[in-house]
Structures are given as C-alpha cells and as structure tokens.
Amino acid sequence: MARVFITGSSDGLGLMAARLLIEEGHSVIAHARGGQRARETRTALPGAKHVVTGDLSSITQTRGVADQVNALGDVDAVIYNAAVGPDERRRIETADGLSHVFEINVLAPYILTALIARPRRVVYLTSGLHRGGDPSLDDPQWEHHAWRGSQAYSDSKLYDLALAMAVARRWPEVLSNAVSPGWVPTKMGGAGAPDDLTQGYLTQAWLAVSDEPAALVSGCCFFHKQQQQFHPAARSPEVQDALTGYCARLSGIPLPA
C-alpha cells in the first residue's frame, strides 16, 4: 500500500485519481483550496485519510500545504494535478503580484516539490498544448506583452514538463514523470472534449503506485500509459536551471540539489 498526496483533488481528474487509488487500497492525502472545499472533498472522498487545505495562488498558503503534508509523515508519491485552464480572459494578479496561471500551474508545484519530504515518485500534469509553449522565460508574468490566456497556459504546461525533467535529472533516486491526460470532458476541458475521461486519470494513478516495469521509469512524458515525444526544450539543463532558478528567486525557496 502506498501513501499518495494529490493536489487539486476536490474535483476533476484529481478526485477521480484519488477515488481509484482508494479503491485499490492505497492511502490518499487529498487537497482542497479552503474550508468549504475541504468539507466537500471529505464527502466526495470518504476513504481519504486526510484533507490538507491551502490556496495555491499564495506562496504562504502553498508553504502551509507542504507543512501539513510533512506533519502527516512521509509520502510515497505526489501527483501535482492542480491547475487553472487556458480560458482566462485577462491577466489576473495574485496577492503575491504574480500571474494567476503561473503561480498555480508552475510556482506552486515547484514550492511543494522543494519543501515536501522527498517521495519515491512524483507525477506532474502537463498538456499536449505544451508543444506551443515558449521556453524562453522572456516574460513569464505577462507584464510586458498583451495577455493571451491560451499561450500563458501552454507556457505553464511546458514549464511543468521542464520541472519534471529537472527533478528526474537532479534526484536520480526519485521517479519523476509527466502526464498529458488529453482533452477530456472535465470542468476545465468542457463537456464536448473528445478524449477518454477514464484514461485521463488512470495514467497518473498508475505512475504513482504501479510496479509494472513500464511505470518504473523516470524523465518521461506519458499519454494513456504510453511514452510520448515532447518539446525538446524540456530536456535542456539550461532551460530547467533557468526555470528552477527563477522559481527560487520568486519564492525564496531553493530546489534541493
């Protein structure tokens, strides 16, 4: 039995992955943004061992999520599922003065990766849209360019992939991979999304706990349990180090070597 922490597990793919893992006998630590969402999550996931809370659009609250997880003891795997989608019509600035999309989709998983006691496996959710992402970090907060929500999302998903590859390179004892769930009919994807919803959450759960040889790899990106090609910039140590260095400066939290 594995202990798995899943961000953004109050609905969507995170909730579905949590249910599957609980049904398989694993111990799940769920995550919700605040008190009301936590109560809803406890109702939706009665088998969850714990529900930690914290708004991932806040550096302070994200640090608090890491503290709560660490206080519960070591976890075997973390699934970084929480994200906001590509349909934000304008640039929203968080209380930290950062782009809402960047802080939730990129900075939060970076902070949690840096602060949670090192698990044996980590899984980061990316998207097929990462292929259109810009790896340059030229203006990640969209302070100097006209806002384009779809591009900001694509960039963030490329950064998530680069973070997964950075962890795989820096921490060889940890299995670090990314998952593209496909365009699935969730709240984010919309009712008309054409991909298989079941496959959207199966792969992240499989990577978190499976002992199948195909799951015991690191530095890969998966779609429906199959490795797939991805943007070559995510493999670049220079891109990875630029991203992790930037996140370290924003948060004041270095990624352990």
Residue ranges covered by each domain of the chain:
3-251
Domain 3-251 is in which class?
Answer: alpha beta
Give the tens place of pLDDT for each residue, 151-160.
999 999 999 9
Give the tens place of pLDDT for each residue, 28-54.
999 999 999 999 999 999 999 999 999
Q: Which residues are paired to 31 by β-bridges?
A: 52
Amino acid present at 106: V
pTM for this model (two decimals): 0.95
Active site residues: 153, 157
On the question of pLDDT at 196 being above 70, the answer is no
Share of the chain above pLDDT 90, in %: 88
Share of the chain above pLDDT 70, in %: 93
Amino acid present at 104: I
On the question of pLDDT at 234 being above 60, the answer is yes
Burial of residue 252 (CB within 10 Å: 0-12, 13-18, 19+) is: exposed
Q: What is the pLDDT of residue 199?
A: 73
**pLDDT tier for residue 87 given thresholds of 50, 70 and 90:** confident
On the question of pLDDT at 16 being above 80, the answer is yes
Distance CA 150, CA 131 (A): 12
Kindly provide the residue ranges of all beta strands, DSSP E only, lying in 90-215, ordered along the sequence.
121-125, 175-179
- For 131-142, what is the mean pLDDT? 96
Q: What is the pLDDT of residue 188?
A: 54
Q: What is the pLDDT of residue 10?
A: 93
**pLDDT tier for residue 257 given thresholds of 50, 70 and 90:** confident
- For 63-79, what is the mean pLDDT? 98
Q: What is the pLDDT of residue 230?
A: 96
Q: What is the pLDDT of residue 200?
A: 74
- For 53-74, what is the mean pLDDT? 98
- For 235-243, what is the mean pLDDT? 98
Distance CA 228, CA 53 (A): 33
On the question of pLDDT at 186 being above 80, the answer is no
The counts of H helices and E strands in the chain are 8, 8
Q: What is the pLDDT of residue 89?
A: 85
- For 60-83, what is the mean pLDDT? 98
- For 219-238, what is the mean pLDDT? 97
**pLDDT tier for residue 219 given thresholds of 50, 70 and 90:** very high
Paired tokens of 129: 């849209």
Sequence-distant (6+) residues with CB within 8 A of 56 are 7, 8, 33, 62, 65, 82, 103, 104, 108
On the question of pLDDT at 183 being above 60, the answer is no
Q: What is the pLDDT of residue 92?
A: 94
Distance CA 141, CA 63 (A): 21
